Amino acid sequence: MMRICSFQHGENSVSNVEALSRDEIRRRIGLADNQSSHPEWGAPKELPSKLANVDDFSLEFLPPSVAPWVGDISDRLQCPPDYVAVTALVALGALIGRRVGIKPQQKTDWLEVPNVWGGFIGKPGMLKSPRDDGSA
């Protein structure tokens, strides 16, 4: 919402406006002390305490050339295979880099290269950190 100030001619220069107090500026643009320039926030809502059910990660989701390697590291470290798989896929994406790309449109020079990001979410003690030692 835009408000129009009621400054006198010549009074709206920067030096004149800077000399005014905050209360005087609020009065001139029509904001009384009990008014607010933003809507009031309601009371915060409770976050759900239960996590959504998701299927377990399966090595079948990985390419056949990577799955046995990820499974071996996961077994040796006794950590979930999805932690190792995320690290492995991000590392493979970095190896490919800009050497391979696809052109989604025939008549333009638009080129998409692999840019893979990964992250881990888990409770404390779920061995999120050791997965980097064997697969990176």
Q: Using CA atoms, how far apart are residues 46 and 53, in angstroms rounded to an integer?
A: 20
**Mean pLDDT computed over every residue of the chain:** 78
DSSP 92-134: HHHHHGGGS-B-S-TTS---B-----------TTS--STHHHH
> What is the structure's pLDDT at 108?
93
- Whole-number Å distance between alpha carbons of 46 and 18: 43
136 falls in which pLDDT band (50, 70, 90)?
A: very low
Which pLDDT band holds residue 135 (cuts at 50, 70, 90)?
very low
What 3-state class would DSSP assign to 67?
helix
* Domain assignments of the chain as residue spans, ordered by start: 1-35, 59-135
pLDDT tens digits, residue range 19-60? 677 777 777 777 766 555 567 788 888 888 887 888 888 999
With contact defined as beta carbons under 8 Å apart, do 58 and 67 qualify?
Answer: no
Q: Residues with Cβ < 8 Å from 91, sequence gap 6 or more?
A: 135, 136
The residue ranking higher by pLDDT, 9 or 38, is 38
pTM: 0.51
Contact 101, 112 (CB under 8 A): yes
CA distance 115 to 96: 9
